[in-house]
Structure 1
Amino acid sequence: MRIFDLQQQVYNLLKEKGFPTGKDNFNVKLVLLHTEVSELADAVKKGRTGDYGQELADIIIRLLNIPIMYPHWGDIWKGSTFADIPEIKCNDLWEGMLNIHREISKLNGTDSDKLGVYKIFALTKGLSIYLGLDLNKECIKKMEFNWKRPYQYGTAKEGGR
């Protein structure tokens, strides 16, 4: 799957489920991206190995919220698929998660974030390879699940319209 195609699916999901897509929510999107990394850390800490794939997918799905906020960026992935993105290797899970947190903290809501978004993707891919997981398949599975969820799922407004 092309990453830009997944990004478009994420955009469609956000619109359908009542979530904002504009850059006025930049700070919210970054904090929520950090929470996804923290959810992976919690799964690792508690030994919930079966949750690793969905947590990695959540990082990518949240990450794709960033270029959605900046439509003028176009296809920053330049037609790339998951296989085309080189992974940034990690020595262990904790190092990998820390490096993702560090890169998220560097994002500032400008066009220079394109490189940071790409790097976070590559770091997440490195974690998935370290864990022996297919990040593309995990993202497809998580998106299928998200489409079945109620309007504004995971919020205080869940299910309302």
Structure 2
Amino acid sequence: MFSAFAGVAQARDSLGLYGDWGAFRDPLVPRCYAIAMAAPSALHRDYQPYAAIGTWPKRSARNQVHFRLSRKMADGAPMVLRIGSERIELTGGGGDAWPKDDSDNAAIVAAMRSATRMTIYSRDSSGRRFSNTWQLAGAASAMDAAAIGCAQLR
């Protein structure tokens, strides 16, 4: 699984690996992020799906959630994240999704700390339903490591 991080982490500092999650710092931007690939699937994929929670200290942006989904989504297709007992509608397009607002962003980050997995459901550009799932063991530690790693980049 972590060999998949090699391309993402080139020219970046590794801050640690925690379960399926990695934490990295990119001092050139500067930014720090926790990232994980979605669970493997034998189904068709247009993209390699991942979830990332990023911090950009010079922009005062912290814990910003972003998802790269496995397929190009249909225009206007609803995207729903199920995490623990919560269901949160996302926004985005193409193969990308993110929370609609800061409140949803904060709710996702908080839920990631206690849930065991999260899954996004949507429809692809051919109208087929699909989902991507991430295991959350290690996510809290990776997010914390990224936040601490960026504290030095202010």
- How high is the TM-score relative to the length of structure 1? 0.28
Q: Which has the higher helix share?
A: 1
Q: TM-score, normalised by structure 2?
A: 0.29
**Bigger RCO of structures 1 and 2 (CA < 8 A, at least 6 apart):** 1
